A and B are shown apart, each in its own frame.
Chain A
Amino acid sequence: MTVGVVILVHNAFDRAEQVIRHWVDGGCPVVVHVDQKVDQKTHDDFVASLADLKRVKFCKRHACEWGTWGIVAGTQSASVKLLAKFPEVRHVYLASGSCMPLRPVKELVQYLDSRPRTDFIESATTSEVPWTVGGLDAERFTLRFPFSWRTNRRMFDGYVKLQRLVRFKRKIPAGLVPHMGSQWWCLTRQTLSAMLQDPERQNYDRYFKKVWIPDESYFQTLARLYSGNIESRSLTLSKFDFQGKPHIFYDDHLQLLRRSDCFVARKIWPRADRLYKAFLSDDGLAMQGAEPNPGKIDRIFSKAVDRRTRGRPGLYMQSRYPNRDWENGVTSAPYSVFEGFTELFENFEPWLAKVTGARVHGHLYAKDRVEFDGRQGSFSGALIDNPILRDYNSQMFLTNLIWNTRGERQCFQFGPTDSQFISWMLATDPNAHVSVISGAWAVRLFQSNRNFADIRQEAAHLQQLENEHLSALRSPWAKARLRVWTMAEFIQAPMEPLQLIVDEMTGKTVRRLTEAPRMADLTGFGQFLQNLKNQGMHPYLMGDFPIDPSLINAPKKPRKPYLVR
């Protein structure tokens, strides 16, 4: 017993000829369907090029437009001819001119010989198929589609809408349960001839002529009526991308295809000389009856679709520039923002770098320069410390920085003395972990040697800026992970919040912090705030600070000697 091949051809005739010869050399008779739309001269030349082969026949031609009945009609004509002319055929394999056998034809014949009653056809009910394009699944079977999807999309869509509006529904012929699946199948003579010779066939054909993309449902549905043994998968490796067009194989897929153990693959790029040479000349590599295993190819193609539809989060580039709220991640990785920490602690940056191992920058958005880690003049990705260039697009400065340092946690300082352009972005980015000691900016003013009138004015300004920033962080649209302490609150027990922050960044260490950063000398700070109040300014972001300095920086009591005997 042998395998017969039905081949549908509409272009790349030189390659089709090669493939047909390969099938025939492997012992398989072939019936070819050439698209009616191909001009007569090309058709005749093609027929002539295969004239020397006795076991190649051509069938009646039908016009094939994607999504319409022509492809099914062509397949039917070719199948009828194949079954009639070659009585030794037991399995019929449907392929196209751009399909290529990856394994020796002998192996396919053996494989099918040992499964003489099995029909290989992917066939699933409409509710179980995820791959439909344009949202038409069950409706493929209940609406009418007189307009071309390719050339007359507006009418196509409009007519679908209209039918939905008036709740039009076609009647599905009795006994049929709509199934769909890959167009490429391999059926036994029994099943296929039962379909083609069914007295009801005219009825079914009339119905399917108006179904959308019938080549994915006609045989798939009817096989369920006649086949006693359906194996619901296609022997042809064929992957579709998100637009519903098949992925194409090129020369650089050679190893991938070899290792897939699949019998036939499509689509092959017609100019992939190396693939055609490798798979058609030496009859491929024998694989000792291995089962097809397209897993790796599946992964590559599904990754490609993912790249096209979801992209890389946090990347902004020439071919990915998402509209607002469609970014699928404003930035590419979590990062930490500290506000008021460097003001309160003298050595906060080196301390944080030491305990967390993260990259700790200074005030990246300082007005006079970008304070990169170690105050370098440039940083990862060739970002430079020029504040004008940074502020030209302050959001992309940050998205670039986070993207460029993937794999390394970034931390930076922020505060009301910095340029405030990114305030809103920080608030809405779920990757931003913002910790704020509110009011700590006043420490710098407290330490400064300036006239008090200036200090008062500056304090009022900074407080207003920080308040605006905090309202952004607390707005209902904010997505940042936020922690706010007033300065008074924080210095009561600084180790607790610090431990919390470090644990969160390093992913829960059991280790307790042994070394704390050094806090600035706050002797007289309470009085300083009181002076501001006395001058008519109201510093409220620091929380309630006691005026008595002894409560904050109380002199440490000498420790009692402790001896162990």
Chain B
Amino acid sequence: MVDNESDDGGTEYLKEQPDVSLWSAKGSYKKARFGVDWLNHLQRKYAHEHWTLVVDPDEFLVYPFCDTRPLRALTDWLDASSIKSFGAMLVDMYPKGPIDNIPYRPGGDPLDIAHWFDSGNYIINRNLQFGNLWIQGGPRARTFFANEPEKAPALNKIPLVKWNKEYTYVSSTHMLLPRGLNLVYDEWGGEKASGALLHMKFLSTFTDKAREELGRGEHYANSLEYKAYAAGLETNPDLWCKWSEKYINWRQLEILGIMSKGNWA
């Protein structure tokens, strides 16, 4: 865990955990290229030749068979298949009704509140420079960015990598170098195995956070995203629509075509 000067009691809590190594990063999140520098350093130092999963605290990994097979089964299979990186796109989760209707309390399962998602409005372009896919869409694109979709946040992520000290994340966990690691997709019609990161951003804590982050100005592209949220949240904070899908399990995401088993059976 990297703690960037949090003041919500997170530091104290994490220090007490027996299975957490805690680093504290002083200074600007933005100047550390939105945390990427911190992570790359830690991974270069400690993660060489290990499988590493890099996630934000509000991202929950779902992968094929995650209800019956541990993560180790996945990484063993990836090893056996000579696959070095595993893609898992962000799926924004949201509650039904205005975001702050149901208060989130520490320790609760966010999935109990925010269990809705968009199933089929994702847009993909290929990033020719780095070879990765650039995925946009979901509730953020349709509510906050419908009139300027090119600014909608990226949803493609490659959080699970058999790390090597030569590797580096370029922009968050959206893309890596060397470029070959970004080829988590098949180009000849087949499907590679992939997962999803359930993104629990839209809980009751969000409205305050959006205002706070806007004040800090420490976020990507001059906090453009948060400006859009702040503007959107005052008028219509309900992300739910009648075509929203209620989350059940990974198999549902597989059937909907959001993730894939690939040839893992």
Contact = CB atoms under 8 A, between A and B. Distances in A.
Are both chains from one complex?
A: yes
Contacts of A327: 189
B73 A311 contact: no
Interface string A371-402: 00000001111111010110011001000110
Contact of A381 (B69, B72, B243, B261): B243
B156 interface: yes
Interface string B113-126: 00000111111111
Contacts of B81: 243, 245
Contact of A308 (B121, B124, B191, B244): B191
Of A241, A252, A318, A323, most B-chain CB atoms within 10 Å? A318
Contact of A250 (B69, B80, B141): B69
Contacts of A386: 142, 146-147
B158 to A, nearest CB: 9
What interface size band does chain A fall in?
A: 35 or more
Contact of B190 (A301, A320, A381): A320
A322 B120 contact: no
B262 to A, nearest CB: 5
A309 B263 CA distance: 8
A304 interface: yes
8 smallest beta-carbon distances between A and B, as pairs: A381-B120, A308-B263, A304-B265, A319-B194, A404-B120, A252-B68, A392-B149, A382-B118
Contacts of B13: none
Contacts of A307: 190-191, 260-263
B80 A245 contact: yes
| Secondary structure class of chain B's binding surface, majority of residues | loop
A400 B122 contact: yes
Contacts of A381: 118-121, 243
A392 B145 CA distance: 11
A320 B192 contact: yes
Interface of A: 241-243, 245, 247-248, 250-252, 269, 271, 300-301, 303-305, 307-312, 315-323, 326-328, 378-384, 386, 388-389, 392-393, 396, 400-401, 403-404
28 contacts: A248-B76, A251-B68, A252-B68, A301-B265, A303-B265, A311-B189, A315-B257, A317-B89, A317-B257, A319-B193, A319-B194, A320-B190, A321-B126, A322-B188, A378-B142, A378-B242, A378-B243, A382-B118, A382-B142, A383-B243, A386-B147, A388-B146, A388-B148, A389-B147, A396-B122, A396-B123, A400-B120, A400-B121
A320 B265 contact: no
Given A248-B77, A319-B184, A382 B120 contact: yes
Contacts of A388: 146-149
Nearest to A248: B77
Given A251-B69, A382-B118, A318 B184 contact: yes
Given A271-B73, A396-B123, A400-B122, 9 more contacts: A250-B68, A300-B265, A301-B265, A308-B192, A380-B120, A382-B245, A389-B145, A389-B147, A392-B149
Nearest to B145: A389
B243 A247 contact: no
A392 B70 CA distance: 39
B264 interface: yes
Contacts of A304: 261-265
